[in-house]
Structure 1
Amino acid sequence: MSRGKTKLAMIPTIETIPLQQLASGDHLSLQLYKFIGSRSGKKVYIQSNLHGGELTGNAVIHRLMEWLTTLESDRLMGEIWLVPVCNPVGVNIRSHHYASGRFDPYSGHNWNRIFWEYEEKFSEIKAFAQSQLALDPQTIQANFRQRIQAAFLALKPTIDSAAGVPFHEKYRYLLQSLCLDADYVLDLHTSSDRGITYVYYFPNRQESAALLQLEAGILLDEYDGEAFDEAFIKPWLALEEAFGELEKPIRFDVEAYTLELGAGMQIDSEAVDRGISGIQTYLITQGILDLPNFPCSAYPPMRFSPRSKARRYYAPRGGIVQWRVPLGTTVQAGDDLYQLLIFNKAEKLPGVQTVQADRSGQVFDVAISQAVSEGEYVLGVLED
């Protein structure tokens, strides 16, 4: 009697990667979980907690690992690499009860504004595109990726030199070395304050961004520069633009997203549920996981808006925010947004000032502190 082959469950390969030796002699490390399918395919890279107080993504990655280990290895086509708590320096920084790990304490850099970008003049990228006109998109993608990786590897002698480099340069090199050959990159963040769930996405990726099923999608029509997702995808966007000018429009199968999963400094259970559901849907729809009958959750459609329409409101005077509209509220122009209780040193009774919305939209982010000095952030509205 013949016996069927036993299908193997997916068990990740786990690697511990040294990151930094401290003055005390102790070491900080990263832990990488690699799920490798029995069938070849694309590579997905997912990390969390790049800013020290942004914790929810760690719970999402844990849920994702638990789920993947229940699947058979032949369901995965390609690889999924997971790096939770990807910034142990930031995670361990504290000020009283607050996780303040948004900035490198030594250099002052924002941890998500330090990353290496492949830089060529647009004319050089256009010349490369011209040389590839007769080739198919898959071959062009492989050739351009090789070009990026060669430029990245040229940094290694400096990183390893006797003179050394500042820690943030070594850190970014290590983190980017894990994802540079990926097809899809997901960077899990949260608001520094209290926020809804939303995703930052890039031009020509709205349809894929919608798979993540968050409350809102914000098109990055403006860049801060050197963020993790930007550094990964910007050369590909430039190459797409070059081909467009050569009248050969191509949309490469390369994507990068930053997922903002609710509030900072806590595990937001609703955001965890929404994050894991969206990532599951994304992986299945993109052909990474072969699960045709998986019951993906159906959340309401995303609200899409360009980043230039994300309006932030700052206190016109110093005071205490004694009332504000709830997070997620849809407001119309002229609606009350918040009310300031204003104290003074002029021998007068305290005053009250109400701030109204300039335009209609949705309140997508609110400050943790309700005590504000003049010019400090109060809340944000994703305008229509």
Structure 2
Amino acid sequence: MLPIIERVPIVQLASGDRLFIQVYKFIGDNPGPKAYIQSNLHGAEIAGNAVIHQLMELWQQVDASQITGEIWLVPVCNPLGINRRSQHFSSGRYHSYDGKDWNRIFWDYEKEATDINQFASSQINLNPDEIATNYRNIILKHFHKLQEEINAASGVPFVEQYRYQLQSLSLDANYVIDCHSSTNQGLDYLYCFSSREESAKAFLLDYAILMTEYDGDAFDEAGMKPWLALEKSLAQQGNPIQFEVESWTLELGTGMQMNPQSVAKGVRGIQNYLATKGMLEIPGFPLPETDLHSVNFIPKDRIRKYYATAGGMIQNRLPLGTLVKKGDCLYQLLSFDKTGELPQIIDIPAVESGLIADICTNYSANQGDYILSIFQGETDKFMIN
């Protein structure tokens, strides 16, 4: 089947030119949930574009009877970000006009909802589907009120217009998948909200960051946080319910690259996830290894970032994916400190055992510049069978 293709206007530039995003909709014969998948919110993180392209090619061979519900695909979802360049480097993590991180701008209903407990109480005798429908309608009603301010003669900053356009595509989805990559060089993993660990297995990735704290400004958080708040309120009132609403961020390898291995993991994982949710009926899926797949969940507060303790050049740095023990030398700084002394080499030890999960691309560093990240824990924990 061929997708329905729609264009969404994003911004008119001073030159008069307009930028758009394009949405590809695969609509099944059978009514059901909605999945929303986007990529390239950060300009240098392009692997998800290849994932979405390959999914579109695969699903063009699928009949509409094999899809339950709707699957919306939005590659290059941030045209301003993808077009940012600095010499030979792609950037686009921040809006150049106001410096805002493109993934810290989104609208979170829970921040303005003062009546979640009251709403939960009013729904106590309804079934989960009815509660979900009622709650989603309230969220959308509040969200669409933002349009009044956007359309006012006074206008709003661009990021508020942009987030409205993007979130209007996804707020009614049951399943949201936001494809990212490391800004630098990184492993493949996903972000998982507490209580959704069982679903995370379907992506067949080895590592997941367990979200223990979040403010709701990121794309996945803004969509998921109100539902987690409602689940918590219902549970406190003696009505524990887990809604069929999930939101994920996939981190697929290295920035400025479409690494074939990372792309393949993304394609396999998304297809397997949607098949597990009953949205895709394709041969071989869900994959038989799904139930037995083991995900290593790392609490977000167990990620240790290392920053340069002095200015210099990085040498002898351990490669991505290396298991380290406390005290191991992670890298050396060749420091030309200009104090009238010879250059010195500074060994940087691991503060704690773990796995090197992310490393910077640049090998020269000012004091305080980011160097690498480690998933902290005993090395046995990170062994992959």
Partner residue of 2:374?
Answer: 381
2:364 to 365, 371, 374: 371
Partner residue of 2:61?
Answer: 70
Matches within 5 A, 1:105-144: 105-119=96-110, 124-144=115-135
CA RMSD of aligned residues (A): 1.5
Matched position secondary structure for 2:321: coil
Question: How many percent identity over aligned positions?
Answer: 50
2:83 to 80, 92, 103: 92
Distance of 1:314 and 1:218 partners within structure 2: 21
Matches within 5 A, 1:51-66: 51-66=42-57
Q: CA deviation at 1:301?
A: 3.2
Partner residue of 2:16?
Answer: 25
8 Å CA contact 1:122–1:238 kept in 2: the answer is: no
Alpha carbons of structure 1 residues 121 and 294: separation in structure 2 relative to 1, 3 Å: closer
8 Å CA contact 1:277–1:296 kept in 2: the answer is: no
Runs (5+) with no aligned partner, structure 2: 378-385
Partner residue of 2:328?
Answer: 335
Partner residue of 2:352?
Answer: 359
8 Å CA contact 1:190–1:264 kept in 2: the answer is: yes
AA aligned opposite 2:165:
L
Distance of 2:286 and 2:191 partners within structure 1: 25
Alpha carbons of structure 1 residues 295 and 209: separation in structure 2 relative to 1, 3 Å: closer
AA aligned opposite 1:382:
F
TM-score normalised by the chain length of structure 2: 0.94
Q: CA deviation at 1:159?
A: 1.1
AA aligned opposite 1:316:
T
8 Å CA contact 1:203–1:220 kept in 2: the answer is: yes
8 Å CA contact 2:110–2:229 kept in 1: the answer is: no
AA aligned opposite 1:360:
S
Q: Does 1:157 align with 2:148?
A: yes
Distance of 1:135 and 1:227 partners within structure 2: 31
Matches within 5 A, 1:181-330: 181-223=172-214, 225-291=216-282, 293-294=284-285, 296=287, 301-330=294-323
Alpha carbons of structure 1 residues 297 and 86: separation in structure 2 relative to 1, 3 Å: farther
Q: CA deviation at 1:225?
A: 4.0
Alpha carbons of structure 1 residues 90 and 133: separation in structure 2 relative to 1, 3 Å: same
Matched position secondary structure for 1:324: coil
Q: CA deviation at 1:119?
A: 3.1
How many equivalent pairs are there?
A: 375
Q: CA deviation at 1:77?
A: 0.2
Partner residue of 2:380?
Answer: none
**Residue-by-residue CA offset, 1:225-275 (whole Å, 9 max, x unaligned):** 410011101000100110111121111110001111010011111100111
TM-score normalised by the chain length of structure 1: 0.95
AA aligned opposite 2:137:
Q
Runs (5+) with no aligned partner, structure 1: 1-9
Alpha carbons of structure 1 residues 120 and 167: separation in structure 2 relative to 1, 3 Å: closer
